[in-house]
Copies of this chain bind each other. A is one copy, B any other.
Amino acid sequence: MREIAKKAGVSLKTVSRVVNNENNVAPETKEKILKTIDEMHYVPNAAARGLSRGKAMSIGFSLSWPVKTNYSAMLIDATLSVCNKKDYSLALFSWDWTTPSQIINAYLGKQIDGVILDTKASMDEKLINQLNALNAPYVTIHPNSLDQTGEESYVIIDNFKSAKMAVNYLIELGHRSIGCATENKPFSHQEQRIDGYRKALSDAGIPIVNSLIKQSPSDSFQGGFICASKLISENKDLSAIFCVSDELAMGVMNGVWQTGRKIPDDISVIGFDDIQYAEAFTPPLTTVHQPIHLIAETAVNHLIKRINDPTTEQIQTVLPTQLIVRKSCKPFQG
């Protein structure tokens, strides 16, 4: 193709120069070349470019949760938009159906220049070790435990403080018997949210009772449903429920509804994450907002910097959350 473009009368290299917008090209020859490029609908071959430059112009993203989860979707959406702006493409790896070695191979095979790792991937020591050994650029999102991360880059929120903030809100509303619905997953961000719940209660002088903390027996909405049923049947005074995630909250709301109780009149429900659909729940969910777009943006921008300059300093970023008050909580009615 470029040979053809050369028929504009100049050398290969000169064409290359204008395609890549380099300096040192005479305005007239530049214009002539641009014109013939346009006429011939020339588009540089990505593979050839990648081969000679040694760069794929593509980053990988290892997702912890199924793509069809609203949380992942929002993360993908944000990541993709940043990548597009920077002329990078995005290769998705779902933890559900791809192995860690596929990520390594993608890097070794120069399909990706670096990778963003969500919770689960960040817990895979072998993966991390290999990445480090290869000196592969990566940044972690919501690493499972900060203890595990060394000097490596990560982007995270303060789960403990955010949960405390949510439960505080419930306490300020006058609630005393506050349930805590937790996921069935062994991740530290969840533990931290539960700790935040505990801390808020103890700071307010409210005793922590075990029957108020329920773990979901399963992954799906069904789990939240069961949490709610147990919480209600075991705690006569229950007037509010803190859910460790919005997805869980959906199930919890369903469970509450099933017992004939109303939200927020009989029971207040608060979530965590602020997924896209939280505002459309019935009633709209009061929840803790995670700055998903900012998380993705921070991670991608930093990753690209490190790809282009491996000496770029690592970052450890903690992003702020925010309480979004909607309609699922109400002052305690006595």
Residues of A within 8 A of B (CB): 41, 43-48, 50-51, 56, 66-70, 72-74, 76-77, 80-81, 84, 89-92, 94, 97-98, 105-106, 108-111, 221, 247, 250-251, 253-254, 257, 276-277, 279-284
Interface centre among A44, A46, A74, A105 (most CB of B within 10 A): A46
Could you write out 22 A-B pairs with CB less than 8 Å apart?
A41-B108, A43-B105, A46-B50, A47-B47, A47-B50, A67-B73, A67-B76, A68-B73, A68-B77, A69-B276, A72-B73, A76-B76, A76-B92, A80-B92, A81-B97, A89-B111, A90-B92, A250-B282, A254-B280, A254-B282, A254-B283, A257-B283
Q: How far is the CA of A68 from the CA of B50 in the complex (A)?
A: 30
**Is the beta-carbon distance between B280 and A221 smaller than 8 angstroms?**
yes
Nearest-CB residue, chain B, relative to A263: B282
Residues in B neighbouring A80, C-beta threshold 8 A: 67, 92, 94
Nearest-CB residue, chain B, relative to A74: B68
**Is the beta-carbon distance between B68 and A68 smaller than 8 angstroms?**
no
Interface centre among A56, A109, A277 (most CB of B within 10 A): A277
CB contact between A282 and one of B90, B92, B257 (< 8 Å): that residue:
B257
Q: How far is the CA of A48 from the CA of B46 in the complex (A)?
A: 11
Residues in B neighbouring A282, C-beta threshold 8 A: 250, 253-254, 257, 281-282
Residues in B neighbouring A46, C-beta threshold 8 A: 50, 56, 106, 109-111
CB contact between A66 and one of B77, B257, B283 (< 8 Å): that residue:
B77
Residues in B neighbouring A73, C-beta threshold 8 A: 67-70, 72-73, 76
- Whole-angstrom distance between the Cβ of A97 and the nearest chain B Cβ: 6
Interface centre among A89, A105, A106 (most CB of B within 10 A): A89
Q: How far is the CA of A257 from the CA of B105 in the complex (A)?
A: 52
| 6 shortest interchain CB distances as A-B pairs | A73-B73, A47-B50, A43-B108, A221-B280, A67-B77, A250-B280
**Is the beta-carbon distance between B43 and A47 smaller than 8 angstroms?**
no
CB contact between A109 and one of B45, B110, B221, B283 (< 8 Å): that residue:
B45
Q: How far is the CA of A280 from the CA of B247 in the complex (A)?
A: 9
**Is the beta-carbon distance between B77 and A276 smaller than 8 angstroms?**
no
Nearest-CB residue, chain B, relative to A96: B81
Nearest-CB residue, chain B, relative to A66: B77
Residues in B neighbouring A106, C-beta threshold 8 A: 46
Nearest-CB residue, chain B, relative to A293: B68
Residues in B neighbouring A257, C-beta threshold 8 A: 282-283
Interface centre among A47, A70, A74, A253 (most CB of B within 10 A): A47
Nearest-CB residue, chain B, relative to A89: B91
Q: How far is the CA of A196 from the CA of B76 in the complex (A)?
A: 35
CB contact between A56 and one of B47, B74, B109, B281 (< 8 Å): that residue:
B47
Q: How far is the CA of A249 from the CA of B250 in the complex (A)?
A: 15
Residues in B neighbouring A111, C-beta threshold 8 A: 46-47, 89
Task: Knowing that A41-B108, A45-B51 touch, tell me 13 more A-B residue pairs with CB under 8 angstroms.
Answer: A45-B109, A46-B50, A47-B50, A48-B51, A68-B74, A68-B76, A70-B276, A77-B94, A80-B92, A81-B94, A250-B277, A277-B277, A282-B282
